[in-house]
Amino acid sequence: MDILIIFILPIDVHGISFHFFMSSLISFNYVLKFSLYRSFTSLVKFIPRYFILFVAIINGIVSLSISSLLEYRNATDFCKLILYPATLL
C-alpha cells in the first residue's frame, strides 16, 4: 500500500489522472513481458549451437590432457626402465 501512495503523490502533483497512469503502467508491463519473452526465445535458439561447440571444445581439452598424461607416464616408465640397469652398476 505504501508503494501505491508513493506512486499516487507525484501523479496528484502533476495533474495526471490515476486511470491514465495505471493504464500506461499496465501497458508497460505487457511490453516488458513481451520483450522478455522474445529475448528468452532468441536465447533458447542460440544456446544449443554454442552448447554443442562448448562441449566439443571441453571434450578435446580433456582428451588431449588425458593422452598427454598417459604419454608422460609411459615416458617416465620408459626412462625408469632404461636408467634402472645403470643404477645397478
Asked whether the predicted pLDDT for residue 78 surpasses 70, the reply is: no
Backbone angles phi, psi at 70, to 5 degrees: -65, -40
Tell me, what's the pLDDT at 23? 58
Grid cell digits, residue 85? 640397469
Give the highest mean pLDDT range of 15-19, 61-65, 69-73, 80-84. Answer: 61-65
The per-residue pLDDT for range 4-55, each reduced to its tens digit, is 445 555 555 555 555 555 555 556 666 666 666 666 666 667 777 777 788 8
Listed by start position, the domains of the chain span: 2-88
Beta-carbon contacts of 18 under 8 Å, excluding residues fewer than 6 positions away, are 8, 11
